[in-house]
């Protein structure tokens, strides 16, 4: 199961600034660490702050209907909504789904491209010098 985009969409709903800032943070590789425990519906991560020497630890508990049940962040807005939490949710969507797709592809070797048959001439083309007169 992939990490749904709806967690991020719900979390940032109605706050354009929050969605934009988290998009920039993910694009800039500000998400330093990401752990997703599917069984526990629990996400943990570290997001780099705008100032380089700081990073914030984020924890998120996922609830039903793609809602966030509980969340914490070490930043000043950590009790409320902040873009670090949003960044973790967006990162999860972009990366967890990618991994799942790759795993399912490996499990199905049938989807690999068919092997091509080549003639001897294609494999061992005649050297140039034989063609010259």
Site for Zn ion, residues 97 to 126, rule: CB under 5 A:
none
- Give the residue from 80, 77, 38, 78 showing the smallest Cα distance to 61: 38
Partners of 62 in the β-ladder: 68
Residues in the interface with Zn ion (CB under 5 A) total 4
Q: Is 21 in the site for Zn ion (CB under 5 A)?
A: no
Please identify which residue in 31, 43, 68, 82 interacts with Zn ion, judged by CB under 5 A. 82
Please identify which residue in 68, 73, 88, 96 interacts with Zn ion, judged by CB under 5 A. 73
* Closest CB to Zn ion among residues 18, 73: 73
Q: Is 31 in the site for Zn ion (CB under 5 A)?
A: no
Secondary structure class of 90 (helix, strand, coil): helix
Nearest-angstrom CA–CA distance, 7 and 20: 15
For the CA atoms of 10, 42, 45, 9, what is the dihedral angle to 10 degrees? -10
Instruction: Identify each DSSP E strand in the chain by its residue range.
Output: 31-37, 42-48, 55-62, 68-73
Interface segment toward Zn ion; rule CB under 5 A; list 11-19, 70-78, 92-100, 112-120 = 70-78
Please identify which residue in 18, 25, 75, 96 interacts with Zn ion, judged by CB under 5 A. 75
Q: Is 84 in the site for Zn ion (CB under 5 A)?
A: yes
Give residue 41's region: left, alpha or beta (phi > 0; psi -120 to 50): left
Enumerate binding residues for Zn ion (CB under 5 A). 73, 75, 82, 84
């Amino acid at each position: 199961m992939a990490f749904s985009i709806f967690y991020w969409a719900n979390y940032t709903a109605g706050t354009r600034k929050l969605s934009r800032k988290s998009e920039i943070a993910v694009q800039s590789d500000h998400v330093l660490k990401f752990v997703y425990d599917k069984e526990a519906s629990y996400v943990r991560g570290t997001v780099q702050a705008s100032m380089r020497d700081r990073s914030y630890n984020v924890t998120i508990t996922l609830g039903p209907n793609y809602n966030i049940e509980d969340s914490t962040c070490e930043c000043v807005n950590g009790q409320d909504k902040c873009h670090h939490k949003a960044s973790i949710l967006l990162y999860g969507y972009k990366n967890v789904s990618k991994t799942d797709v790759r795993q399912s592809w490996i499990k199905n070797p049938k989807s690999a491209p068919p092997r091509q048959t080549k003639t001897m001439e294609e494999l061992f083309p005649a050297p140039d010098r034989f063609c010259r007169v």
